[in-house]
Chain A
Amino acid sequence: MTSLSVILSCIVMFLVTGGLGILMSRSHRATPAIYGLSLLLSAIAFVISLMHLATSFVDAPTVILPIGLPWLGAHFRLDALSAFFLLVANLGGTLASLYGLGYGRHEHAPHRVLPFFPAFIAGMNLVLLADDAFTFLISWEFMSLASWALVMSHHRDAGNRRAGYLYIVMASFGTLALLLAFGLLAGPEGAYGFAAIRAAEHAPLTAGLVLILLLLGAGSKAGLVPLHVWLPLAHPAAPSHVSALMSGVMTKIAIYGFIRVTFDLLGAPMWWWGLVVLLLGGATAALGILHALMERDLKRLLAYSTIENIGVIFVSLGLALAFKANGMGLASALALTAALFHIFNHSLFKSLLFFGAGAVLTATGERDMEKLGGLIHRMPVTSFTFLVGCVAISALPPFNGFASEWLAFQAILQSPNLPQWALTIAVPAVGGLLALSAALAAACFIKAFGITFLGRPRTPAASDVSEVDRFSLGAMGVLAGLCLLAGILPGIVIDGVASVVLSLVGDRMPVQMDIPWLSIVPIAESRSSYNGLLVFLFIAFSASATIYIVHRYASRTLRRSAAWDCGFPEGSPLTQYTAGSFAQPVRRVFGTLAMRVRERVDMPAPGDLRPATFSVEQHDLVWEGLYVPIAGAVGFAAEKLNRLQFLSIRRYLSLVFLALVFLLLVLALWS
């Protein structure tokens, strides 16, 4: 039995599990049963894909199942790229199922979640295995619909309904764009198999058009600016383990679609493709993290941060395209490795952070950071793992986020060798944007952790809490451990994705595991190297030594003095730093430009008894500048066309008649 057929059977079993979820929806045993089965199945798929990636260098043959279009069938294939993404998806699926075992118990409407959760994982796996355009699109749409159902699981909340509506509109638009892209790729003969598309020659104009459509289709699913508007609404609306899957994994499936077409199917790239992708990625990264910094809803903050990370990944992909177009194999391999590494990392720490947000939500019932605080005392394990996630996503060593972003910057440093002046100017500029977003991300996650977990509880909801269940803690612990492991042993991951990179750009980074002391050296020893293990050991050693010295040599004599108020002269916890006040400096510097932020202080005159108020007005320029006009135009056209609903029979006949006469006239004049 090949690994492909095992994973396909797993997918079938996922669908069966989903059916089981419908059957036993009212039973109280449904939650452990469904999540347990999902856990088992994704673990199997994870192990298989890991083994495939680690051992086999020959691609498994295509499996053709007699379903779908009669003359085409459904093609499935497992190559290195699919195997890598399957690994990411099923690792996320496994841990989300584990987390769901505990988190799902608090779900008040489990029958709305249980049938769709395994179906969602099945859909993502199917997209990764599809080897013809038809199967790909069907799987893609299946994945979208399953996740939409999960977003709508708490549909009594009007905000969630709005998020679901926006999501399904954007998802349909994205699928339409992909449909057109594959239509162009397949050509007039309708060669929908990926093998046929790969073999065909694509004219430069067609290829460029396909790239634009792909950026619209896959970009809208991944959250590329300006198609990101649905993401910060829809991802937080789902239950937290599903949010983790959507943010951590589904956005990666979208990137898989992008990589599959641009690097694999579309043939040799042109240099301007890289420029477009690069600029979009840079804008996405900066805008995403700025929005995240302004946010006070914990889960929405995480969703905006997903947009930033998608931007980072797209910057690396754009670099890889630009290098590949200029025949710089090694640099292209470096950039693509950085992208794939960051994809893996982001799936780890974003799942971890969403799990943490879910734990906070379970314990306190609150997502609003302004109502939390001081949770570190009552939820120590959650706080610690969340802290690990925050450090990792802020790209601080020794965790994994640093390793991948470091590789991305190494790739950016290769840009002076590019021949096109547009690229040599644009790449450092985008690098600057990336550096800015990395710094802002650190600020953002200091805010997220500090406001939520440190200080004193701001409301009773935050003060009366207890630690969450063991399954959730286990899932978060595993993820935190993986974040550290991938950070101190980046060479393993780099060598692991080498076969993927080799198959896509025809070159690979040097083997990293042969380098002594587990260092990684992307280009040459003389230029740059990084050793996560040494950094980790140094941090661990110096921190332990400091603690030891402080405890050993600090004075133990008793001192009496006036109570130090720790900066809190008032007793009320509301006097603490808030999320809004923490973000104020950044809001004033960047917000006035990027979001037209206006602050208003209403200070009553002395003797006036009304309270002073402070209000912040903030605009989403993308929403107001792009989506509101489009929605207005659609509404206007619909209002005009609505009259056609209420014509008489004779008028309808006249319309048909006139249309017929018009077409005949065209025919008469044309031919």
Chain B
Amino acid sequence: MNGPVFDIAHMLAGGLVLVSMMMLYQDRLYALLNVFALHSLVLTLSVAWQALIQDAPHLYVTAAIALIFKAIVIPVALHRMIRQLGIHREIETVVGVGPTMLAGIGLVALSIVVMLRVTPEADPLAREDLAFALSVLLLGLLIMVTRRNAVSQVVGFMSLENGLVLAATGAKGMPLVVEISVAFSILIAFIVIGVFLFRIRERFDTVDVRALDDFRGRRRK
């Protein structure tokens, strides 16, 4: 497996990492959601390409799920939610853009080094794919860590899941059931977090998770 087939798979997975990096410096919620929709779209393309080259038609289902739910339904729903909550104008970062980007670059480098070291005898396509997937996963976690707003933490979580799907489709012979269950678990997590957001909002008039810390403040001192 080489030539353009490999290059296109490589490009799509690398694109996903690139979009993850883009998400890192979005400090407005709408922009973040748009980039997330783009993220899911790139994932869809990547999965579809994998379906084509692995000759695995069930991966098209995964791609469709990613397109419908992650690229369309969830971003739209989150858009509505933000509008209802009235927080679409908020700007938030905890750590500055520069350090975050540097950390992101470091994480990508780390995951590539780790993956290339531990999988010397694996299929080169799966190998690259796993390295990119690990980067996406770590970047998603970094987004969750550097944000304070509950909505952007949800988005970080979703992008982390995208990384998981990328890893799953890169490996050959992943059963459909697993993918569907992954997709549904994301959906359910999304619903739960959505309900949770409204509950927080009702109680504290904000979705800033610092309010939760204040509320929990029963320190034993």
In the bound complex, what is the Cα–Cα distance between A642 and B145 (angstroms)?
Answer: 22
* B110 with A654: CB separation less than 8 A: no
- Chain B interface, DSSP helix/strand/loop, else mixed: helix
A426 at interface, CB cutoff 8 A: no
* B110 with A650: CB separation less than 8 A: no
- Contact string, B99-139, partner A, CB cutoff 8 A, digits 1/0? 00000000100110110011000000000000000000010
Interface size class of B (residues with CB under 8 A): 20 to 34
Residues of A within 8 A of B213 (CB): 648-649
A2 at interface, CB cutoff 8 A: no
Residues of A within 8 A of B218 (CB): 646
Chain B nearest Cβ from A24, distance in angstroms:
45
In the bound complex, what is the Cα–Cα distance between A653 and B218 (angstroms)?
Answer: 20
A671 at interface, CB cutoff 8 A: yes
Given known pairs A642-B220, A650-B209, A661-B107, the reply for A668 and B148 (CB within 8 Å) is: no
* A665 with B110: CB separation less than 8 A: yes
B216 at interface, CB cutoff 8 A: yes
- Contact string, A657-670, partner B, CB cutoff 8 A, digits 1/0? 10011001101100
* B117 with A649: CB separation less than 8 A: no
Residues of B within 8 A of A667 (CB): 114, 117-118
In the bound complex, what is the Cα–Cα distance between A671 and B115 (angstroms)?
Answer: 11
In the bound complex, what is the Cα–Cα distance between A656 and B145 (angstroms)?
Answer: 10
Given known pairs A653-B144, A667-B114, A668-B114, the reply for A661 and B138 (CB within 8 Å) is: yes
Name the CB-closest residue of B to A642: B220
Name the CB-closest residue of A to B210: A648
Residues of B within 8 A of A650 (CB): 94, 144-145, 147-148, 153, 209
Count contacts on A: residues with CB < 8 A to the other chain: 17
B203 at interface, CB cutoff 8 A: no
Name the CB-closest residue of B to A654: B145
Given known pairs A648-B209, A657-B141, the reply for A664 and B110 (CB within 8 Å) is: yes
* A657 with B142: CB separation less than 8 A: yes
Name the CB-closest residue of B to A670: B117
Name the CB-closest residue of A to B150: A649
In the bound complex, what is the Cα–Cα distance between A661 and B147 (angstroms)?
Answer: 18
Chain A nearest Cβ from B192, distance in angstroms:
15
B212 at interface, CB cutoff 8 A: yes
Residues of B within 8 A of A645 (CB): 220
* B114 with A649: CB separation less than 8 A: no
Residues of A within 8 A of B145 (CB): 650, 653-654, 657
B89 at interface, CB cutoff 8 A: no
Residues of A within 8 A of B107 (CB): 661
Residues of A within 8 A of B142 (CB): 657
Chain B nearest Cβ from A650, distance in angstroms:
6
Residues of B within 8 A of A668 (CB): 110, 113-114, 117
- Contact string, B188-221, partner A, CB cutoff 8 A, digits 1/0? 0000000000000000000001101100101110
Residues of B within 8 A of A660 (CB): 138, 141
8 A Cβ contacts from A290-314 to B = none
* B209 with A649: CB separation less than 8 A: yes
In the bound complex, what is the Cα–Cα distance between A32 and B142 (angstroms)?
Answer: 69
Residues of B within 8 A of A656 (CB): 141
Chain A nearest Cβ from B151, distance in angstroms:
14
Residues of A within 8 A of B216 (CB): 646
In the bound complex, what is the Cα–Cα distance between A657 and B146 (angstroms)?
Answer: 11
In the bound complex, what is the Cα–Cα distance between A642 and B219 (angstroms)?
Answer: 10
Chain A nearest Cβ from B59, distance in angstroms:
28
Chain A nearest Cβ from B154, distance in angstroms:
12
Chain B nearest Cβ from A647, distance in angstroms:
9
Chain A nearest Cβ from B173, distance in angstroms:
25
* A661 with B110: CB separation less than 8 A: yes
Interface CB pairs A-B, < 8 A, 28: A642-B220, A646-B216, A646-B218, A646-B219, A646-B220, A648-B209, A648-B213, A649-B209, A650-B94, A650-B147, A650-B148, A650-B209, A653-B141, A653-B144, A654-B145, A656-B141, A657-B141, A660-B141, A661-B110, A664-B110, A664-B111, A664-B114, A665-B110, A667-B114, A667-B118, A668-B114, A668-B117, A671-B117
Residue positions of B touching A, CB distance < 8 A: 94, 107, 110-111, 113-114, 117-118, 138, 141-142, 144-145, 147-148, 153, 209-210, 212-213, 216, 218-220
Residue positions of A touching B, CB distance < 8 A: 642, 645-646, 648-650, 653-654, 656-657, 660-661, 664-665, 667-668, 671
Q: Which 3 A-B pairs have the closest CB atoms?
A: A648-B213, A668-B114, A668-B113
